[in-house]
Amino acid sequence: MTQRTSWPRGRWTWLLGTVGLLVAGVIIGVALQNWLLGLTIGVIVSLGWLLAYESWRGRNVGVNDDDNGIQL
């Protein structure tokens, strides 16, 4: 039998932040009278949030390696 892993600690923060950013994007889109544009902006910002959050969890924030370039 394989052991089932649980939901990683701290992922609720990421999930709530992502949903919040998507909702904020749609609200901004409605204010601009184009909800699809707002959703697109929300998705793009949420992807940035995901990259930054996972980088933070991996303790790679601000890593500058001259051989491999700058990492998030």
pTM (2 d.p.): 0.60
Provide block-wise average pLDDT over 10 residues at a time, the chain (72 residues).
Answer: 63 82 87 88 85 69 61 54
Which element (helix H / strand E) includes 38? helix 35-57
Give CA 55 to chain center in angstroms: 10
Among residues 21, 3, 11, the alpha carbon closest in space to that of 54 is found at 11
Q: What is the pLDDT of residue 2?
A: 59
DSSP 12-37: HHHHHHHHHHHHHHHHHHHHTT-HHH
Going from the C-alpha of 41 to that of each of 14, 18, 21, 25, 38, the distances in angstroms are 18, 12, 9, 6, 5
